[in-house]
Structure 1
Amino acid sequence: MLDSTIFTLFGYEMSHIEFWATVTGGLAVWLSAKENVWSWIVGLLNVCLAFRMFYLSQLYPDMFLQVFFFITNMIGFYMWKFPKEDQANANHELQITRINPKLYFPFLLGIVLATFMMGRFASNLHEWFPKLFYLPSAFPYADSFVLTASIATTFLMMRKKVETWWMWLLIDMVSTVIYYQKEIKLYALLYFVFCFIATYGAIDWTKKFKYYEVKK
């Protein structure tokens, strides 16, 4: 059990921290898919809850990721809300664009290399810092992929790139398996739902991008 129980469902004890992290996480992602700038603000609350939850679950790379998310949520809000004049949409917020196709390979290669390095680091945390990390990292390489890919994809999200949502779909599928294996079942279900939201976001943002291109 992660924390004090808020309710029990079919024998599964739902902790307060998992429940509220799930609620705020789901709302933040849905608002992002709808291109709503306030998704970043809801996300600030979510990352605070998730930091504690991942620490208790020995998912240390995911825990570190929340620090990055906290900072980028503040930056992302500013970038979406106050874009340059030539990058604004009809609502005077940042416009959706695509990344240069030439950057696809170095982008993916960077994620693979960073995943390997972070996985090695996470595998040794309990030996290097036993007072902080008293148990070995669970799924160090898979969890490190979630960390590194999420960092890279967050930069795409901050710039409102269409490819953001295809990357989130891959990350969400891996995360669903990890959280289910760690018995964080509601969070696993949330990330399963995120797979559908990511698909919706990819389709919707592509349509909006094509609309902006026609309007130019």
Structure 2
Amino acid sequence: MISYLEWSANAVFVISVILAARNNVNTWWTGIIGCGLFAVLFYQVNLYADVTLMVFFILTSIYGWMYWGAKKQLHPIQRTKMTNFVSFIAAAVLATLAYGWLLHEMTDAYAPFIDSIVLMFSVLAQFLLMKRRLETWVCWLIVDTVAVPLYFSRELYLTAFVYGLFWCNAWYGLYSWIKIYRSENKGEKTWQQSPLSAD
């Protein structure tokens, strides 16, 4: 039976993700609430790595809220240089292998390497989202693609279903942000490389 806590956590988190896809600054404070609820839920079922991820999301959401501007004074959407993005992906893969091995050797974690993909690519996606980088949605697509079967196998059926919706929303977010990026850059090529350090 799905608990009220799981219903509440997913409901608030859905709102946060939809707001992110709509380029809305309110994604951050709703995300903080959703992550807090999920942290409690995961703690109750002994998913401590997921608790750590939720705490990370809360801390980075506070920073993201400040970066985007609490008064909706939004920074423009930007691109990441392809060489930098490839380096980020490679680093996430290496971190996944290292953390997955650590969990495999030192804990009784369920599907440690698969779970590590969700963790590491969520971290990368979150940092890109905070900086309003278009590539954040590519990373979220990876996360959601892996998370759906993972959570389903843990019998977290509602959460798996919601992450399926997140997968669809990530496609919408990518489309929406490409459209906004083109508008902000007056028709420049969507995949034009931009400096990582640009604000």
Does structure 2 conserve the Cα–Cα contact (< 8 Å) formed by 1:26 and 1:194?
yes
Matched, 1:93 2:74: yes
Size of the aligned set, in residue pairs, is 188
For the pair 1:180 / 2:161, whether they are aligned, the reply is no
Residues 29 and 65 in structure 2, CA contact (< 8 A), matched pair in contact too: yes
Which of 116, 119, 142 is the matching residue for 2:114? 142
The answer to whether the 8 A contact 1:48-1:66 is kept is: yes
- Name the CA distance, whole Å, in 2 between partners of 1:120 and 1:161: 30
Shift of 1:52: 2.2
Confirm or deny: 8 A CA contact 1:177 1:188 kept in the other structure: yes
Aligned to 1:129: none
Q: In structure 2, do the counterparts of structure 1 residues 156 and 30 end up closer, same or farther at CA, with 3 Å as the change threshold?
A: same
Unpaired runs of 5+ in structure 1? 1-12, 84-90, 127-135
Report the Cα offset of residue 107 of structure 1.
0.8
Give the aligned residue type for 1:39. T
Match of 2:125 in 1: 153
Letter in 2 for 1:37: V
What displacement does 1:125 show? 4.7
Partner of 1:104: 85
Determine which of 171, 181, 186 is the counterpart of 2:143.
171
The higher radius of gyration belongs to 1
Aligned to 1:17: 5
Give the Å deviation of 1:124.
4.2
Q: Which residue is 2:68 aligned to?
A: 80
Q: Report 1 or 2 for greater relative contact order, CA contacts < 8 Å, sequence distance ≥ 6.
A: 2
2:50 to 62, 85, 106: 62
Secondary structure of 2:2's counterpart equals strand
Normalized per residue, which structure has more strand? 1
- 1:205 correspondence with 2:177: yes
Question: Which of residues 58, 71, 87 is equivalent to 2:59?
Answer: 71
2:74 counterpart SS class: coil
What SS class does the counterpart of residue 214 from structure 1 fall into? coil
Give me the TM-score of the superposition, normalised by structure 1: 0.82
Corresponding residue of 2:163 = 191
- Inter-partner Cα distance in structure 1 for 2:45 and 2:115: 12
TM-score, scaled relative to structure 2: 0.88
Q: Percent identity?
A: 31
Q: Please give the root-mean-square deviation of Cα atoms over the aligned residues, in Å.
A: 1.8
